[in-house]
Structure 1
Amino acid sequence: MKLSTLMTAVLLTAGLATTAGAQTLKKIADSNKITVSYREASVPFSYLIGSKTAVGFSAEITEAVIDDVRKKLKKPTLEVAYMPVTSQNRIPLLMNGTYDLECGSTTNNSTRGKDVAFSINTFYTGTRLLVKKSSGIKNYADLAKKTVASTTGTTNAQVIRRYSADQKLDMQLILGKDHDDSLLLVESDRALAFAMDDILLFGLKANSKSPESLDVVGDSLQVEPYACMVRKDDPEFKKLVDDTITRLIKSGEFARLYTKWFQSPIPPKGVNLNLPMSEELKANMKALSDKPAM
Structure 2
Amino acid sequence: MIEGETMKWLVAVLVSSILWQSAVASDLIASSPTLSHIVSTGEIAIGHRTSELPFSYMVNDQPTGYAIDLCLDVIEGLEEALEIDNIKVVFVPVTPANRFILVRNGTVDIECGVTTNTPERRRQAAFSYPHFLTTTRYVSLTEKHMGGLEDLAGQSVVSTTGTLNITQLNELNRTKDLNISVMLSRNHEEAFSMVASGQASAFVMDDILLAGLISSASDPAAFHISETTLSRAEPYGLMMPPDDSVFVEQVNKVLDGIYQSDAIFDLYEKWFLQPVPPDNHVLNLPLAPELAAIFANPEQYIE
Q: Same fold (TM over 0.5)?
A: yes
Give CA-to-partner distance per residue, 1:160-214, whole Å, 9 cap, x none.
1111111110111111111111111111211111111101100010012321211
In structure 2, distance between residues paired with 1:159 and 1:174 = 13
How many corresponding residue pairs?
A: 273
SS at match of 2:46: strand
SS at match of 1:54: strand
In structure 2, distance between residues paired with 1:196 and 1:253 = 29
SS at match of 2:158: strand
Matched, 1:227 2:237: yes
The offset of 1:143, in angstroms, is 1.4
Q: 1:183-222 to 2 correspondence within 5 Å?
A: 183-221=192-230, 222=232
Which blocks of at least 5 consecutive residues in structure 2 are unaligned? 1-29
Which blocks of at least 5 consecutive residues in structure 1 are unaligned? 1-19
- Greater Cα offset, 62-71 or 99-108: 62-71
Equivalent position to 2:179, from 170, 177, 184: 170
Moved over 4 A (4+): none
Give CA-to-partner distance per residue, 1:24-44, whole Å, 9 cap, x none.
000111111111111111111
> What is the match of residue 3 of structure 1?
none
In structure 2, distance between residues paired with 1:292 and 1:107 = 12
Equivalent position to 1:244, from 254, 264, 276: 254
In structure 2, distance between residues paired with 1:186 and 1:292 = 35
CA contact (8 A) 1:225 1:292 kept: no
CA contact (8 A) 2:147 2:228 kept: no
In structure 2, distance between residues paired with 1:225 and 1:252 = 21
Matched, 1:152 2:161: yes
SS at match of 2:129: coil
**Which amino acid in structure 1 is aligned with residue 83 of structure 2?**
K
- Counting aligned pairs with the same residue, the percent is 33
In structure 1, distance between residues paired with 2:199 and 2:302 = 34
Give CA-to-partner distance per residue, 1:189-244, whole Å, 9 cap, x none.
11111111101100010012321211111312221111101111212111121122
Equivalent position to 1:108, from 117, 133, 146: 117
Equivalent position to 1:277, from 279, 287, 296: 287
The offset of 1:49, in angstroms, is 1.9
SS at match of 1:75: coil
**Which amino acid in structure 2 is aligned with residue 96 of structure 1?**
N
CA contact (8 A) 2:31 2:246 kept: no
SS at match of 2:115: coil
**Which amino acid in structure 2 is aligned with residue 34 of structure 1?**
I
Task: Provide the aligned C-alpha RMSD in A.
Answer: 1.6
CA contact (8 A) 1:21 1:232 kept: no
CA contact (8 A) 1:143 1:169 kept: yes
In structure 2, distance between residues paired with 1:172 and 1:218 = 21
Larger radius of gyration: 2
Q: 1:59-78 to 2 correspondence within 5 Å?
A: 59-78=68-87
The offset of 1:133, in angstroms, is 0.8
> What is the match of residue 15 of structure 1?
none
**Which amino acid in structure 2 is aligned with residue 105 of structure 1?**
V
In structure 2, distance between residues paired with 1:65 and 1:285 = 15
